[in-house]
Chains A and B, each alone.
Chain A
Amino acid sequence: MTYAGLALLALLVALAVAMVTAVVRRPGGRWWAATALTATVLVALTVVFDSLMISADLFRYGDGALLGPRVWLTPVEDLAWPVVAALALPALLELVTPRAGAAGGERA
């Protein structure tokens, strides 16, 4: 397996979590908009800070481990991290939060 393959696998898992949440919890448009906004901000932060971390020699990539394309110094494969985080984590939080209304429904 390549690093890109591993990233793809993680993306598929995150997508599955998001889909389960979509089906089970049916979050509204604003939830998805917040998710898209979060992904966008995280990808931008990743490009900046991953590049800084690479230039600070915090980690090194194996020979031939990367596809090649980079955004600044960030290998494209690393951009899967923020996308996976934005897709999976808010969805997980939504999944463990009982449906609004089921427990009393204080919201008008």
Chain B
Amino acid sequence: MIDGVTHLVYLGLLLGCIGCMAAVDRRFRLLLWSAHPGRGALVLGVGTAGFLVWDVVAIAAGFYSRGGAAMTGIELAPHLPLEELIFVVFLCYVTLLLHGLARRALDRIAAGHPDPGGEAPHRRSPDPSTREDA
């Protein structure tokens, strides 16, 4: 059953997720808002291309195919929906952000102050000497 918005559900969710991740990226200056956004964009691009090759080979070999109603129906190649491109960008972006966040958290723990550090543009925590080093 196709109603007015069903076919936009998956694309909308993906774009919404990417938007949220961009906000996290900007807040913590992790990738595209880091000091070197070009490097982040390059790795996102290479990763996206790599996963699309994986997809195209798998589709050509008949391992999987496009499903039903929750997508726009726009195809970049036979059985490769527009949504798959956005999904792959999402996967690459979330991977790099998770790694950046994990690395930063581990660095902080190792440095002995697990509270959010100085790089963030607008920190809102009251942060009155909540350190717990005995």
Please list the residues of chain A having a beta carbon within 8 angstroms of any beta carbon in chain B: 1-3, 6, 10, 13, 30-31, 33-35, 37-38, 41-42, 45, 53, 56-62, 65, 81-82, 85-86, 88-90, 92-93, 96-97
Contacts and interface: CB of A to CB of B under 8 A. Distances in A.
Contact of B96 (A31, A62, A93): A93
Contact of A3 (B42, B63, B107): B63
A108 to B, nearest CB: 11
B67 interface: yes
Given A59-B64, A89-B47, 18 more contacts: A3-B61, A3-B63, A6-B63, A13-B50, A30-B107, A31-B103, A34-B102, A37-B98, A37-B102, A57-B67, A57-B68, A58-B83, A60-B66, A61-B64, A89-B43, A90-B99, A93-B39, A93-B96
B46 interface: yes
Given A33-B106, A59-B65, A65-B62, A38 B98 contact: yes
B33 interface: no
A97 B36 contact: yes
Contacts of B92: 85, 89
A34 B106 CA distance: 7
Contact of A62 (B36, B64, B66, B103): B64
**Main SS at interface, chain A:** helix
Contacts of B50: 13, 88
A99 to B, nearest CB: 13
A81 B57 CA distance: 14
Interface of B: 10, 36, 39-40, 42-43, 46-47, 50-51, 54, 57-58, 61-71, 83, 91-92, 94-96, 98-99, 102-103, 106-107, 110
B86 to A, nearest CB: 12
A61 B67 CA distance: 10
A57 B70 contact: yes
B95 A38 contact: yes
A74 to B, nearest CB: 13
B98 A41 contact: yes
A81 B91 contact: yes
Contacts of B10: 53, 56, 58
